[in-house]
Amino acid sequence: MAFLSFRAAKALLAVLALAGVPARANAQSLVTSEYAVKAAFLYNFARFVEWPEGAFLNPREPVTFCVMGQDPFGPELEATIDGKTVMGRQVVIRRPSQILELAACRILFVSASERPRFQQILASVGHRPVLTVGEDEGFARTGGIINFVVERSRVRFQINQGAAERAGLKISSRLLELGEVVGGAGKG
Amino acid sequence: MRRLRDLSIRRQLTAIIMATSTAALLLACTAFVVHDIAYFRRLLVSDLSTLAKIIGSNSAAAILFDDSRRAEETLAALEAEKHVVWACIFDAEGRRLAGYVRGGGTIELPAAPPEPGHRFVGDDLRLAIPVVWDGETVGTVLLDSDLGELQERLARYAAIGALVLLTSSLVALALSSKLQRVISGPILQLVQTARIVSERKDFSVRAGRVRGEELGLLVDAFNEMLEQIQHREKSLVERTGEIERINRELARSNRELENFASVASHDLQEPLRKISAFGDRLVSHCADALDAKARDYLERMQSAAARMQTLIQDLLAYSRVTTRAQPFVPVPLADVAREVLSDLELRLEKTGARVELRELPAIEADPLQMRQLFQNLLSNALKFQRPEVPPEIRVEGRMNPPAAPGFCQIRVEDNGIGFEEKYLDRLFKPFQRLHSHTAYEGTGIGLAICEKIVQRHGGSITAKSALGQGACFLVTLPVRQSRGDVP
């Protein structure tokens, strides 16, 4: 099961930590684990963001996580998110290939592979309350709300608060404290 | 406790009050401190757990986003909590995300979180609480606090307790030494009064009256007792005076009587000797002129005069037991008995008597009277022999008989005619005889003298017998005489 393998990776990290290896530095540098961490972060971003009233059609509507472009997570996203809830709502993962399919997304991860289409994708999202997350310098500049960066083998993130405000999303101050707040070029 | 009993009542009361109040105070202080320390420990736990919750809530995001730098920053805020020795934040997987050591010291921090809860470890309180965020346990905060506050508090309590104890002891001492007088005052006054009474034999003193139920009663009863004693003492002195007067009177009249008997018997001898002498002359001068009847009368007169002589001599001997008394000295009774037997040798031969002389002790007595005692008892035993039966006499003495310790018992046993015990009373009365003087010679004074001698020595005499069964005389005499006891 994908979930178990994720747990196993975490356990391995714990073992490394116990073994006195500077685990934290090395752990995230493991290729397999970078996306495990990012998957966990992606889920947690959703928990520190407040969607505006009326963003969801009804109380039972699930929170849809979308991965656009080439999926770097492999099984990690499902392993992290499956069976969990956000704000008491079910969680759903979709992997749309067409921009037209983005309407249901509440959290949109844009893969680096979509670099040429960043502008296009963000434009289609417009000012709708969608938490856009990328992992490319260009994505942040283009107007994405959160952007993963890897600093000294550690996964960190940038937050474009202006973009979030334009999308009508309220990002928790706790999350803002942890990320690097950037101005970022945005529209309007 | 033994020492407390030896103290004066004043000190006893003060000590009791002090001990009681100190014990009560100590107990109260201890209870208070124990309660307060327990309460304070709970407070410490609750404070520390509040602190841990705040840290947990502040670091939840850092844990979720694996941001140890932020977590360390959160922990760094503990610098303001001087009792927190070290702290750790663990993520949900139990990895240590951040650590903090007071003053930037180096301590081996635990690698994994313990079970949630608090423990007192040595001088530290260690508390682990889960970090819950959005209904999910995302990590653990572990805090270690020293108990410096608790120890400070204890030290403060000890100081306050000592001060309170000292102050209240001083106050209690001052109060008790004042208040104890209510009880000790009257008692000490009673003691003082009792001392005066016993030292000066003055029964006219009285203890001052006091209020208070029991003590008042005690003092009143004591005074009443003194009054009764005073009253009795007075009548006792009066009666004693009277008794002494009567005693002196009696002694005087007794002396006079004895002197009279002595003088009288002395003077009585003179005319008797004349009667006897002139009787003799009458016989030698004109015996031929008298007929047989006249000679018979004359003979009877002479014999009566002789008997009178004997009676008077016996009377003299009887009175001399007290008038010619000698001081008491140690007397070996065996020697006395032997001397008496040698004096009686002639009579022993004549009667064919056999005397068995057993052991006799030495006692303090009048030697001449002891001699007379043995003389009379032995002659008695020889005298009242059964016809044609040679007397067999046994003399023995026993020290400290069970019935009379400190005494010596002398037995003089014979095989003579004996007597009926109902006449025992008459046996020791002067001039009382159980037989006619024609059957057995003698005036009946011998045993009376024996009794008088024995009584003078503080002893007693009695006899056992049955008619024709022989007689046994028992003399009990003290071994030692008290000094100056020479009546």
What single string gives the DSSP state of each residue in A2-67? HHHHHHHHHHHHHHHHHTTS-HHHHHTTSHHHHHHHHHHHHHHHHHTEEPPTT-SSSTTPPEEEEE
**Residue B487: its pLDDT value, please?**
45
DSSP bridge partners of A3: none
Q: Are strands A180-182 and A154-160 parallel, antiparallel or unpaired?
A: parallel
- Report pLDDT digits (tens) over A130-177: 999 999 888 878 889 999 999 888 899 999 989 999 999 999 998 998
**Residue A23: its pLDDT value, please?**
37
CA–CA distance, B14 with B183 (Å, rounded to integer): 11
The reply to whether residue A11 touches residue B68, judged by beta carbons under 8 angstroms, is no
Nearest to B65 among A10, A23, A41 (CB): A41
Q: Judge whether residue B244 has pLDDT over 90.
A: yes
**Residue B335: its pLDDT value, please?**
93
In the DSSP assignment, the letter for residue B134 is T
CA–CA distance, A159 with A181 (Å, rounded to integer): 5
Read off the pTM.
0.53
Nearest to A14 among B64, B66, B95 (CB): B95
The arithmetic mean of pLDDT across residues B342-349, rounded, is: 90
Q: What is the token pair recorded at B272?
A: 């008797």
Q: What is the token pair recorded at B159?
A: 């100081």
Least confident of A19-23, A72-76, B112-116, B273-277: A19-23
The arithmetic mean of pLDDT across residues B3-27, rounded, is: 85
| Min distance B132 CA to chain A CA atoms (Å) | 13
Q: Is residue B266 very low, low, confident or very high in pLDDT (cuts 50, 70, 90)?
A: confident
The reply to whether residue B96 touches residue A17, judged by beta carbons under 8 angstroms, is yes
Angle A32-B58-A7 from CA coordinates, rounded to 5°: 25
Angle B68-B136-A4 from CA coordinates, rounded to 5°: 85
Set of chain B residues whose Cβ sits within 8 Å of the Cβ of A40? 64, 66
| Min distance A100 CA to chain B CA atoms (Å) | 32
- Average per-residue pLDDT for chain A: 80
Sheet containing strand A180-182, strands side by side: A85-86, A89-94, A63-68, A107-110, A131-134, A146-151, A154-160, A180-182
| Min distance A188 CA to chain B CA atoms (Å) | 31
Set of chain A residues whose Cβ sits within 8 Å of the Cβ of B70? 177-178
Q: Is residue A30 very low, low, confident or very high in pLDDT (cuts 50, 70, 90)?
A: very low
Set of chain B residues whose Cβ sits within 8 Å of the Cβ of A178? 61-62, 65, 67, 70
The reply to whether residue B95 touches residue A41, judged by beta carbons under 8 angstroms, is no
Q: Is residue A17 very low, low, confident or very high in pLDDT (cuts 50, 70, 90)?
A: very low
Q: Judge whether residue B163 has pLDDT over 70.
A: yes
Alpha-helical segments (H) within B205-291: 213-286
CA–CA distance, A19 with A169 (Å, rounded to integer): 42
Q: Are strands A89-94 and A63-68 parallel, antiparallel or unpaired?
A: parallel
**Phi, psi for A15 (deg, rounded to 5):** -60, -45
Q: What is the ipTM of this complex?
A: 0.76
CB atoms within 10 A of CB A122: 22
| Min distance B111 CA to chain A CA atoms (Å) | 7
**Residue B483: its pLDDT value, please?**
56
**Residue B377: its pLDDT value, please?**
93
Q: Judge whether residue A4 has pLDDT over 60.
A: no
Reported as type and span, the H/E element at residue B143 is strand B136-146
**Residue A3: its pLDDT value, please?**
41
Q: To which residue do tokens 């009764």 refer?
A: B228
- Average per-residue pLDDT for chain B: 88
Set of chain B residues whose Cβ sits within 8 Å of the Cβ of A154? 66
CA–CA distance, A186 with A164 (Å, rounded to integer): 10
Q: Which residue of A has its CA nearest to B59?
A: A174
The arithmetic mean of pLDDT across residues B340-349, rounded, is: 91
**Residue A186: its pLDDT value, please?**
45
Q: What percent of chain B has pLDDT over 90?
A: 34
Q: Which residue of A has its CA nearest to B68?
A: A24
Q: How many helices (H) and strands (E) would you count in chain A? A: 8, 10
The reply to whether residue B65 touches residue A14, judged by beta carbons under 8 angstroms, is no
CA–CA distance, B476 with B457 (Å, rounded to integer): 10
Q: What one-letter code names the amino acid at B252?
A: R
**Phi, psi for A138 (deg, rounded to 5):** -65, -30
Reported as type and span, the H/E element at residue B329 is strand B329-332
Question: In whole angstroms, how far apart are CA B296 and each of B244, B281, B290, B302?
Answer: 57, 15, 10, 10
Q: What one-letter code names the amino acid at A106?
A: R
Q: What one-letter code names the amino acid at B393?
A: I
**Residue B485: its pLDDT value, please?**
47
Contact indicator for B435, B420 with CB cutoff of 8 Å? no
- Report pLDDT digits (tens) over B387-411: 888 999 999 999 988 888 889 999 9
Contact indicator for B464, B471 with CB cutoff of 8 Å? yes
Q: How many helices (H) and strands (E) would you count in chain B? A: 12, 12
Q: What is the token pair recorded at B113?
A: 């979180």
Mutation pick from A6, A28, A44, A152 vs chain B, by most beta carbons of B within 10 Å, is A44
The reply to whether residue A10 touches residue B93, judged by beta carbons under 8 angstroms, is yes
Angle B343-B349-B352 from CA coordinates, rounded to 5°: 130
The arithmetic mean of pLDDT across residues B326-351, rounded, is: 91
Q: What one-letter code names the amino acid at A128?
A: R
Query: DSSP 3-state assignment of B325?
Result: coil
The reply to whether residue B62 touches residue A178, judged by beta carbons under 8 angstroms, is yes
CA–CA distance, B52 with B43 (Å, rounded to integer): 14
Set of chain A residues whose Cβ sits within 8 Å of the Cβ of B67? 156, 178
**Residue A2: its pLDDT value, please?**
38
- Report pLDDT digits (tens) over B193-209: 889 888 988 888 888 87
**Residue A97: its pLDDT value, please?**
85
Sheet containing strand B124-133, strands side by side: B96-101, B84-91, B136-146, B124-133, B117-121
The reply to whether residue A44 touches residue B64, judged by beta carbons under 8 angstroms, is yes
- Report pLDDT digits (tens) over B458-487: 999 999 998 888 999 999 999 998 754 444
Q: Judge whether residue A31 has pLDDT over 50.
A: no
Write out the residues of chain A at the interface with chain B, using a CB-CB cutoff of 8 A: 10-11, 13-14, 17-18, 23-24, 28, 37, 40-41, 44, 47-48, 154-157, 172, 174-175, 177-178
What single string gives the DSSP state of each residue in A80-124? HHTT-EETTEEEEEE---SGGGGGG-SEEEE-GGGGGGHHHHHHH
